[in-house]
Amino acid sequence: MLITALFLLSLLWGSTFYFTKLLLPDFHPVSIVFYRCLFGMMALLPFFLWKKSKKDFQRVPALLLITLISAGIPWVFMSLSLRGLDTTIGGVLNASGPIFGIVLSVSIFRTPATRQELWSVLVGFGGICTTLIAGINGSDPFHFGPAGLLLVAVCFYSMSAVLSAKYLKHCSLITLSFMTMLAGTIYSGIFMMFVEPKSFQHFNDLKPFLLFIVLGMVISGFGNVLYYYLVKSGGALFALLVTYLMPIMTILLGVLFLEEKINGGILFGLLFVFTSVYLMNKKFFKEMGSE
């Protein structure tokens, strides 16, 4: 069940970059995050009202902070980064989640890292560097600013996975997912009032509604339920493995529908990333193969 959920989430979240790119010509990045969270919140509201309990709100400050850094803050950075970054490169850079996860686990909770995990971090970092070099040497202009923004976003939601696994074990999946959408809606809505207060005018046909139904309700709303299921059942680092699988869908959609170019350097960087995830979870894969 965990493996099925991991692959399903990678398919959903791997298409995030594609749908965001489709919306960027009409919406400001902050507005995209607002409507993405709003639609996701509306999809989860009936389930939240049905399943919520007082136990879920034992640690309200931690709940608000962790859910905010899970979606609202990083999604704004991610949307801004895609203004100057191809989805193919963005998908590979996004795969650095488990690397940040290990670093944060060691630095925040003093969790001892094994030699295998340290090697996986080094290999994964090599993959990121290879991708950056490939992007710089590509035919299209490469901008370090957007790449840096995306890596900051990855750091934020990696931190949220580590913190939620530590402090929010008592919360139900639906409450965590709904509060993530709620926190993201409020956070991005405040900024949207200043940068694009009349964003609703872009809903002049059916296309934006359909795109936000997919991006907001399905990918973000129910995708977050799968994500927190992985965090609670498999642990933070296991849940972050989704970022290693996402580039497959991201690159496929970018090349097929956005006419983005992919070179051997990006594929080589992706190979580094997959090697890193294998090293990080070598024991897990051996156990899975023996079943």
* Other Cβ atoms closer than 10 A to 116: 13
Q: How far is CA 255 from CA 15, 83, 247, in A?
A: 12, 17, 12
Q: What's phi and psi for 114, nearest 5 deg?
A: -80, 165
pLDDT recorded at residue 217: 95
Ramachandran quadrant class, 30 (left: phi over 0; alpha: psi -120 to 50; beta: rest): alpha
CA distance 237 to 116: 14
Which residues 6+ apart lie within 8 Å of 63 measured at CB? 56, 57, 168, 171, 176, 179
Whole-structure pTM value: 0.81
pLDDT in tens, 100-153: 777 787 777 777 767 776 777 677 677 767 766 665 555 455 567 788 888 888
pLDDT recorded at residue 284: 54
DSSP state of 272: H
CA distance 34 to 44: 15
Report for 156-160, 210-214, 271-275: range of highest mean pLDDT: 210-214
263 within 8 A of 134, measured Cβ to Cβ: yes
* Other Cβ atoms closer than 10 A to 286: 9
Q: Which two tokens stand for residue 285?
A: 């894969």
CA distance 51 to 42: 15
pLDDT recorded at residue 187: 94
In which band, very low, low, confident or very high, does the pLDDT at 291 lie, cut at 50, 70 and 90? very low
| Model confidence at 193: pLDDT above 90 | yes
pLDDT recorded at residue 96: 72
Environment class of 216 (CB within 10 Å of its CB; exposed 0-12, middle 13-18, buried 19+): buried
